[in-house]
Each structure stands twice: as C-alpha cells, then as structure tokens.
Amino acid sequence: MGLKIWIDGKLVDEADAKISVFDHGLLYGDGVFEGIRVYNGKIFELEAHIDRLYKSAKAIRLAVPMSRDKLIGSVKETVQANNVVGGYVRLVVTRGAGTLGLNPFVCENSTVFIIADNIQLYPEEFYENGMKVISATTVRNHPLALPPQVKSLNYLNNILAKIEALDGNVAEAIMYNHEGYVAEATGDNVFIVKDGVIYTPPVEAGALSGITRAVVIRLAGQENLQVVERNLTKFDLYVCDEFFLTGTAAEVIGVVEIDGRVVGEGKPGPITRLLRKEFYSYAHGKEK
C-alpha cells in the first residue's frame, strides 16, 4: 500500500497527490516548509515547527490558508493515517498555481500538503565514531537577500554546498557567510566546544533558527553547560576540542575531522556524547 498524502484539505492516495505545473513552488521555489520528526508515535516539537512555518510564511507574504489549530490537526491526522511510529513529516506551503511570470499575487490559492513517512538517517557508525566534513566554497546566502530564519523551498544554495560535500566523499559541508563567519552546515546547525564552553553561530550569521538547535541549547543549560552564541571562524573550527551538528534528521552528531584536520582526539567528545544522550531521552519522552 502506498502512502496517504494530505493535500488541500483531504487525504489522498500517493498516486493522486499532485500539484499544478504552474505552481510557483515548483516554478520559482516560492513557498516554505518544515521537516518534523515522529518518535514513538508522538510528533516532536510540533508547536515550535508550526510557529516557525507561520513566521517564514509571513516574512515572504505567503498566506497559510488555514488556522494554526487546523494545521496541527491535519499533521496529526496524516501521521495516524500512515501509521508512522518513528519517522518524518514534511509540511509544505507553496504559493499555488499562477502564471509564468514572477508576480506572486496572481496565485489565487496557496497549496498545502503533508507527507508522513520513514526517514533516511546517518549511518549508526557516524554517531559512534563521528563524521568528517569539509568547508564549502559556496557562500551562504546574504541575510539581506533572504533572511536565514525563512525556511523556504529555494534550497539551491544549500544543495550546491551539499554537492561539494558529496564530491569530497563526506556527508556534510560547512557553509560560511559573506564575511567569512560560520553560518551552518547544508542541513544542520553547527556547535563547537572549547575549554568546556559550547559555542554556536548566531542566527544573524546566516544560520537557520533550528528547532533541534533550541532544544540542545536548553538541554545544555539543564546540565549547567555554558552556551555562547557568537561569530565563529574557520580557525575556531580547526582548533576546537569538540564539534557537533544538530538537526531534525541528524539529531546530535559528532564531527571528528574538518578539511583533513582532526578535531580533538578524533572521536566524539564527552559533551557531544552527553548532549546526544540527553536529546535521545528527551525526544523519546524520558525526561528527568
């Protein structure tokens, strides 16, 4: 049996889940989305994701054609219809069908669709042994071109950096902004540890305001670990004691090498391991 896809107010069979070739989400990447995890049948941080979706939409003057409560209910309905116990939800709002011109206001009705399915995770050995990354030459979009807080359908900037990573036989690449400061990885937020203090780039540097990032910062505080948001340079990444990434799919994953330089002792460090453990417990409903 195929998936049940929620699209514009109802669940349909996967084969019938279609949008117009004139949809501006397809033609111009004009839309917003959220990727949301499901753990033990429970949707992780759903309200935070819905809040971010509405903020992204407002920033690009895109009307979400349903109430917040109705959208939350529709996400839950889609997860239940597909019997997703541990998986992933992709929630998308596009500008809708219009003309071949750029004018978004000719699109009369925005399109909403929801997919609930399994998720491709990093291999388990990455979590045990850490992963290698490279620095991308693709520069993160200027924050005045598109605010980094907007999780838009136009991901070409990240995709070009991802191609660099794959060409370098690694899973992730670190992106820097126009000033040379660390922004984010292609799909994850960046954290480092130096002398027992955790550092992460501020959103203004070009980082998405990650939901997992916020949870990890909160969990670190509960462990009496200091977290500082500040601009980081490539040098900071080269000489840090620990290095980890956070994201909906990645959760918390250690980085043990960047641009051929070994991070710390070449294995996920104690703070990385602690935060991964705490995140796992929190996500699976085992709060202290």
Q: What predicted TM-score, i.e. pTM, was given to this entire model?
A: 0.95
pLDDT at 89: 98
* Residue 121, pLDDT score: 83
Q: Which of 4, 132, 151, 162 is catalytic?
A: 151
Q: What's the CA gap between 161 and 251, in Å, rounded?
A: 20
Q: What is the mean pLDDT of residues 206-231?
A: 97
Over residues 108-125, mean pLDDT: 93
Q: Give the pLDDT band (50/70/90) at residue 119.
A: confident
Q: Mean of the pLDDT values across residues 175-186?
A: 98
Q: Are 94 and 57 in contact (CB under 8 A)?
A: no
Instruction: Quote the pLDDT of residue 120.
Output: 79
Res. 188 pLDDT band, cuts 50 70 90: very high
Residues 4-117, CATH architecture: 2-Layer Sandwich (3.30)
Q: How far apart are CA 275 and CA 286, in angstroms?
A: 14
Rounded CA gap, 159 and 90, in Å? 18
Residue ranges per domain, the chain? Answer: 4-117, 124-283
Give me the mean pLDDT over the 188-216 stretch.
96
What token pair was written down for 251?
């959760």
Q: Higher pLDDT residue, 192 or 143?
A: 192
Name the helix (H) or strand (E) containing 47: helix 46-59
Average pLDDT in the 30-58 region? 97
21 forms bridges with which residues in the sheet?
none
For residue 288, pLDDT beyond 50: no
194 forms beta bridges with 197
Contact 50, 6 (CB under 8 A): no
**Beta partners for 246?**
189, 252
User: What single-letter amino acid sits at 269?
Assistant: G
CATH architecture of 124-283: Alpha-Beta Barrel (3.20)
Active site residue 288: no
Instruction: Could you list the beta-strand ranges (E) of 138-258.
Output: 172-176, 182-185, 189-194, 197-200, 227-229, 242-247, 251-258
